[in-house]
Amino acid sequence: MTKSRSRRLRKKLYLDEFAIFGFELSFVLDVAENDIEKFLDEFVDVIEDNGLIIGGGGFKEFSAFVCSGRRYGSATDDDRQFIEKWLTSKPSISNVVVGKLVDANYGI
């Protein structure tokens, strides 16, 4: 049974039209240890230049969640495809897996 909630409550709970979507990603990074920071700086710049934010990490095996940097914004399929294309274009990266869009707050 679906509850009828006010617009204000839906906004506070990030439900329905206020839901925020993002996606998981993972990859294996095959670079020298002293080049990892350089790659991650470049990767974060790409993420931020596209209005996204990222949370996660790793050393050689990296996994993270990406969503929009806007308060009620969501990542899009175009964002997913762009990040996947950028990662696969790097010769030092393998096993790129970009998940589907999911609700960032509720994982649905």
pTM as predicted = 0.87
Give the residue among 80, 68, 82, 55 at the shortest CA–CA distance from 18. 68
Q: Please give the CATH number for the structural domain made up of 22-102.
A: 3.30.70.260
Longest dimension (CA), the chain: 55
Q: Domain extents for the chain? A: 22-102
pLDDT at position 31:
87
Q: Which of the residues in the chain have pLDDT under 70?
A: 1-2
At residue 1, the pLDDT reads 46
Query: Each residue of 46-74: pLDDT tens digit?
Result: 999 999 999 998 888 999 999 999 988 99
Please name every residue paired with 55 in a beta bridge, in sequence order, or none if there are none: 65
Q: H helices within 13-100, ranges in order? A: 36-49, 77-88
Q: Answer whether 55's CB lies under 8 Å from 65's CB.
A: yes
Q: What is the pLDDT of residue 2?
A: 62
The amino acid at 108: I
**What's the confidence (pLDDT) of residue 108?**
73
